[in-house]
Amino acid sequence: MTTRNDQIERYTGSQRAAHWVSAISFILLALSGLALFHPAMAWLANLLGGGQWNRILHPFIGVLWFLVFARFALPLMGSNVITGGDLKWLAQVRRVLAHDASGIPPVGRYNGGQKVLYWVLLLGMLVLLASGVVIWEPYFADRFPVDLRRIAVLAHAVTAWGLILSIIVHVTASVWTAGSLTAMVRGKVSRAWAKHHHPGWYREVG
Amino acid sequence: MALQSLDIERRSATTVPPPGVRTPAQVAKLIDISKCIGCKACQAACLEWNDLRDEVGVCHGTYDNPTDLSAKSWTVMRFHEAQTADGRLEWHIRKDGCMHCADPGCLKACPSPGAIVQYANGIVDFHSEHCIGCGYCLMGCPFHIPRLSQEDHRAYKCTLCSDRVAVGLEPACVKSCPTGCIGFGSKEDMVHVAAGRVAELKERGFAHAGLYDPQGVGGTHVMYVLPHADQPELYSGLPKDPTISPWVQLWKGIAKPIGLAAIGLAALGGFLFYVKSGPEEVHEESEAGPGGPAGPGGAQPPTGGR
Ligand code: HEM
Ligand code: SF4
Ligand code: SF4
């Protein structure tokens, strides 16, 4: 018996906008970056208008992503502090994935997996910005010693796959968890969803 | 700029074999530093043949002019004065420019298909129409040679006059040199010529004279005869044992297949997991009652969700 009153707000309109702007720019960054990373992916450069445009646009989209994602994520830091319960949740994650929830500690606004993703993204964002600036032609790269640029481009590539892998997990989990996508598209979740997935949060806001 | 008469040995960011049925001789340029008088005829010939007009700079109090390579100066003479053990002056003048490595770091690093090629005769050439201006070749090169143009955002360096060589001419610098300091021919011949010259220099008291053909980059198609081959750094920082940086090797070596495979497998794994396990659904009826949260040990204990 779900009525309109049973909906709880999970994300405000501006949070949702920020999430999707950063999601779309992340996808463009991943595709334009992969075009440079491996010859088998070089054809992806056409997406942004060919090799030169791919090279020119990638870092600017990167800065946009950084700003929008930081604006979205930093205010959520308080809800993402990892607790003992989260570690237990993480230790039991196999059971969660098998739809078997018995004996798993209650989850607050975010579960252990979401919190790990949060910190991975935050750290990765800083590494990508710093290393990206160091290799950014023609504006900044020639100000840095060549060995630093070599390390930066490797760090950039490796961090990029780290984040791409994390985002694949994130997308899989949010599609798998029915109702999550609606939360990010419409901003609201049902009481049942909140009680089931995030009882600690439900207790606070419900 | 592709020259049909020059077959290609390697092509940047390309995973299939480039055209290569012909077997041309390996060419090389030999720069005999002991014969160079620093006249810069070769610098002028390079600008002339390649229609380059670099900005006129200012005198920095040395003979180096311009003081560094640029997108429009593909070769420069580097002057260095040293004092020998017995107090005499020795002037080391080195014609700097692309070494045309057998294992070119620039080509290894380049992400744009066909922007850098290595011809079967050994010349490493930039095909600027495919260049995207990323600057990766600057990171790949162990000799600090390529330069990005601030005008058209493409990388440039010495072509070893691939256009002249393709039609049987020597490079412009070779043709212009008044002392015969720069030789050009098959790599085999140039190694032979160098051996004769090194023996002469040894006779004249340069005990450590030798050929600079660094094996760390597989040998080069521009080689130097050095009077002090034991100290190449003397000649304005010529590296003693150049190799492609280990960072670049890692980045352009195992990182590429591992990264791509990891991403592909993760995407496949995520999809298969979803297909096999089905979505995690909440049963509205069982939980939507007016009571408090189910909490641990409730009818439907909490599980994961993102
Ligand atoms: C935070 C802001 C970012 C900046 C300033 C930035 C900047 C750059 C720059 C300057 C390059 C060199 C090529 C070029 O000039 O276009 C590059 C390459 C690359 N970027 Fe980014 N980037 C950022 C974010 C990202 C993100 C979020 C991803 C992945 C999802 C990513 C993935 C890549 C990849 C894979 C490469 C190619 C590395 C290689 O060639 O191995 N970047 N980035
Ligand atoms: S010297 Fe540098 S630019 Fe020339 S072939 Fe070697 S790596 Fe490439
Ligand atoms: S600047 Fe041009 S030649 Fe150099 S690595 Fe990038 S695409 Fe290749």
* Residue B253: HSE in the Cβ half-sphere, 13 Å Cα cutoff: 8
Q: Which long-range contacts (CB under 8 A, 24 or more apart) does A77-84 make?
A: A79/A108, A79/A109, A79/A110, A80/A110, A80/A114, A80/A115, A80/A118, A80/A119, A81/A115, A82/A112, A82/A115, A82/A116, A82/A119
**In a mutagenesis test of the B interface, which of A48, A76, A195, A197 is the best target, namely the one with the most B β-carbons within 10 Å?**
A195
A63-74 tens-digit pLDDT = 999 999 999 999
Q: Do both B135 and B50 map to the same domain?
A: yes
Q: Do both B193 and B264 map to the same domain?
A: no
A108-164 tens-digit pLDDT = 999 999 999 999 999 999 999 999 999 999 999 999 999 999 999 999 999 999 999
Q: Domain boundary at B242, B270, B297, which? A: B242
Q: Looking up tokens 């994130």, which residue turns up?
A: A170
Q: What is the pTM of this model?
A: 0.91
> Which chain A residues contact residue B133 at CB under 8 A?
52, 55, 137-138
DSSP letter for each residue of chain B: ---TTS-EEEETT--SPPP----PPPEEEEEEGGG-----HHHHHHHHHTT--PPP----SSS-SSSS-BTTBS-EEEEEEEE-TTS-EEEEEEEES---BSS-HHHHH--STTSEEEETTS-EEE-GGG-----HHHHH-TT---EE-TTT--EE---TTHHHHHTTPPPHHHHH-TTS-EEEEEHHHHHHHHHHHHHHHHHTT-TT-EEE--GGGT-BSEEEEETTTT-GGGTTS--SS----HHHHHHHTTHHHHHHHHHHHHHHHHHHHHHHH--B---HHHH-SSS----TTSSS------
The helix/strand/coil state of A189 is strand
Q: What angle do CA B283, B284, B288 make, to 5 degrees?
A: 130
Identify the pLDDT of residue B286.
Answer: 58
Catalytic option among A19, A38, A99, A170:
A170
Identify the pLDDT of residue A122.
Answer: 97
* A1 has a pLDDT exceeding 50: no
Q: What is the mean pLDDT of residues A84-93?
A: 92
Residue to substitute in B11, B125, B147, B154 for testing ligand 3 pocket (most ligand atoms within 8 angstroms of CB): B154
Q: Cβ contact (<8 Å) for A146 and B144?
A: yes
- For chain B (length 306 residues), average pLDDT per consecutive 10? 73 89 90 96 97 91 93 97 90 97 98 96 96 98 97 97 94 97 97 98 96 98 97 96 97 96 96 91 62 38 42
Nearest to A169 among B270, B285, B300 (CB): B270
Rounded to two decimals, the ipTM of the complex is 0.91
- Percent of chain A scored above 70 by pLDDT? 98
DSSP letter for each residue of B93-147: EEEES---BSS-HHHHH--STTSEEEETTS-EEE-GGG-----HHHHH-TT---E
Break chain A into its structural domains and give their ranges: 7-205
Residue A48 CA to ligand 1 center (angstroms) comes to 14
Q: Do both B176 and B107 map to the same domain?
A: yes
Ligand 2 pocket by C-beta < 6 Å: which residues?
B 98-101, 104-106, 124, 141, 143, 145-146, 157
> Which chain A residues contact residue B286 at CB under 8 A?
192
With respect to residue B140, please indicate whether it lies within any of the assigned structural domains: yes
The reply to whether B114 touches chain A by the CB within 8 Å rule is: no
With respect to residue B301, please indicate whether it lies within any of the assigned structural domains: no
Identify the pLDDT of residue B1.
Answer: 44
Domain interval for residue B263: 245-278
Q: Cβ contact (<8 Å) for B280 and A99?
A: yes
The reply to whether A180 touches chain B by the CB within 8 Å rule is: yes
Please give the tally of structural domains in chain B.
2
pLDDT band, very low/low/confident/very high, at A12 (cuts 50, 70, 90): very high
Q: Do both B112 and B256 map to the same domain?
A: no
> Which chain A residues contact residue B292 at CB under 8 A?
203
Q: Do both B260 and B116 map to the same domain?
A: no
The reply to whether A133 touches chain B by the CB within 8 Å rule is: no
With respect to residue B126, please indicate whether it lies within any of the assigned structural domains: yes
* A31 has a pLDDT exceeding 50: yes
Q: B128-164: string of b/e by CB count within 10 Å (b at 16+)?
A: eebbbbbbbbbbbbbbebbbbbeeebbbbbbbbbbbb
Identify the pLDDT of residue B291.
Answer: 41
> Which chain A residues contact residue B296 at CB under 8 A?
104-106
Residue A58 CA to ligand 1 center (angstroms) comes to 6
With respect to residue B83, please indicate whether it lies within any of the assigned structural domains: yes
Q: Cβ contact (<8 Å) for A197 and B302?
A: yes
Q: Do both B216 and B269 map to the same domain?
A: no
Q: Do both B153 and B20 map to the same domain?
A: yes
A156 carries an active-site annotation: no
The reply to whether A187 touches chain B by the CB within 8 Å rule is: no
Q: Do both B169 and B188 map to the same domain?
A: yes
Mean pLDDT of chain A: 93
Considering every ligand atom shown, identify the ligand nearest to the alpha carbon of residue B137 and give its number.
3
Identify the pLDDT of residue B289.
Answer: 46
Nearest to A107 among B271, B286, B302 (CB): B302
Identify the pLDDT of residue B231.
Answer: 95
Identify the pLDDT of residue B84.
Answer: 86
Q: Do both B235 and B259 map to the same domain?
A: no
Write the CATH number for B70. Answer: 3.30.70.20
* A7 has a pLDDT exceeding 80: yes
CATH topology of domain A7-205: Fumarate Reductase Cytochrome B subunit (1.20.950)
